[in-house]
Amino acid sequence: MSTTPLAGPATSDEAAGSPLLEAREVGFTYRGAGSPVLHDISLALRPGRSLALVGESGTGKTTLLRLLLGLTAPTSGRILFDGEPLALGDRTRMRTFRRSVQPVFQDPYSSLDPRARVRAVVSEPLRSLGLAPAGRAGTRDPRVAAALESVGLPADAADRYPHEFSGGQRQRIAIARAIVCDPRVLLADEPVSALDVTTRVRIVDLLAELKERRGLTIAMVSHDLSVVAALCEHTAVLEHGRIVEQGDTGDVLSAPTHPYTRRLVGSVPRLPAPRPAS
């Protein structure tokens, strides 16, 4: 689980193939801020090996996800996509990137336009990427119907408004919007934290199903280690903007080597043991 590469036999990550998305020695400082938010971050998202970014609030997880989404450029280091540096000013390159890498945001209440029907919400990536004619938000694109079906929503959902759905259903709409352009990678920022426990389980099961059926690779920010264990094969732990530990999720969660990781794992609430019958 060392963050420093060592010579020797190929690891499971190496066996998974070349990285789809990679951060190399990335640092980031907000304009006007005195201290960097991220320091020397290196990690790789490989095909079929989904990644969790975990840590307490303020450790830089969401900032790192924004860099991986190409929403802003790192202050130092590089973000690479398919082995090539991500050039935010290259429109052709970024259009290919946007089609391949799609986001799912934390709050399904604020991430959907309440004034638009679900059909228009889900088809937005198709229009913005030039995959459907502009101004055809109300048309019946079969890709929208297929995306809604993939997330378990009925066909008539397309003609309704987001406020007509529950929180879990809205997150399904958000996921449908992310997969409608058939991406290779989903980058999700706390995708279930705004949901109740039962709904969280259903959305995690949906993401796992989509990952398997569509061959999706997922990078996810989460503070819920049970979600991480269920969905992600690889975990990176951030503390004060640095990766202090990363490796196979089972190893990181069952036998953490860094004191900070041990505190995170130890802070997970556990149900008390049942009392013996009298």
The answer to whether residue 199 sits within a structural domain is: yes
The total number of structural domains that make up the chain: 1
Strand order in the sheet with 76-81: 38-45, 21-28, 76-81, 84-85
Distance CA 247, CA 242 (A): 15
Phi and psi, residue 161, nearest 5°: -105, 155
CA atoms within 13 A on the CB side of 176: 31
Residue 243 lies inside a defined structural domain of this protein? yes
> Does residue 118 form part of some domain?
no
The strand pairing partners of 131, in sequence order, are none
- Map residue 211 onto helix, strand or coil: helix
Cα separation of 101 and 209, whole Å?
18
Apex CA 107: angle with CA 202 and CA 76, to 5°? 110
Output the pTM of the full model. 0.87
Strands 84-85 and 76-81: antiparallel
Residue 219 counted as domain residue:
yes
Question: 46: Cβ–Cβ under 8 A, 6 or more apart, which residues?
Answer: 13, 16, 17, 18, 19, 20, 217
Which residue carries 């990536």 as its tokens? 125
> At residue 126, what are phi and psi to the nearest 5 degrees?
-65, -40
180, 214 Cβ separation under 8 angstroms? no
Q: What residues make up the domain containing 75?
A: 12-110+184-266
The answer to whether residue 237 is domain-embedded is yes
Contact status, residue 61 vs residue 229, Cβ threshold 8 Å: no
Give the neighbor-by-neighbor strand order of the sheet with 101-104.
101-104, 185-189, 217-221, 51-54, 234-239, 242-248
Read off the tokens for 185: 């990678």
Q: Is residue 126 part of a domain?
A: no
Q: Could you say which residues of the chain have pLDDT below 50?
A: 1-15, 271, 273, 278
Predicted confidence at residue 269, as pLDDT, reads 67
CATH number for the domain that contains residue 88: 3.40.50.300
Q: What is the dihedral of CA 94, 96, 97, 101, to 10 degrees?
A: 140
Residue 157 belongs to some domain of the structure: no
Whether residue 273 lies inside any domain: the answer is: no
